[in-house]
């Protein structure tokens, strides 16, 4: 995507870490690092998502706009 710079990418990654069952986690040694220097690790959910066994949108609780269309995640309890 031509518009996807570092900060936009980080915002997308953060959404994937702040959902009900995160796809990524920040490795414990890197939690205090600058965002661009952090190391991420895939969670079990991340591995299942990559394998096509899990739909990420089942965890997503926010709203994301793609091409003028709102993609709404489920409501958090």
CA dihedral 64, 69, 74, 77 (to 10 degrees): 60
pLDDT in tens, 7-22: 888 888 888 888 888 9
Domain limits of the chain? 6-72
The whole-number pLDDT of residue 45 equals 93
Residue 70 pLDDT > 80: yes
Q: How many alpha carbons fall within 13 Å on the CB side of residue 54?
A: 15
The whole-number pLDDT of residue 75 equals 67
Residue 76 pLDDT > 60: no
pLDDT in tens, 19-50: 888 999 988 887 788 888 888 999 999 999 99
């Amino acid at each position: 995507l031509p518009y996807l710079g570092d900060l936009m990418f980080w915002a997308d990654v953060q959404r994937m870490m702040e959902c009900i069952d995160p796809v990524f986690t920040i490795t414990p040694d890197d939690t205090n690092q600058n965002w661009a220097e952090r190391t991420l690790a895939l969670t079990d959910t991340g591995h299942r998502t990559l394998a096509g066994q899990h739909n990420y949108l089942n965890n997503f609780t926010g709203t994301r706009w793609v091409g003028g269309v709102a993609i709404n995640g489920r409501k958090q309890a």
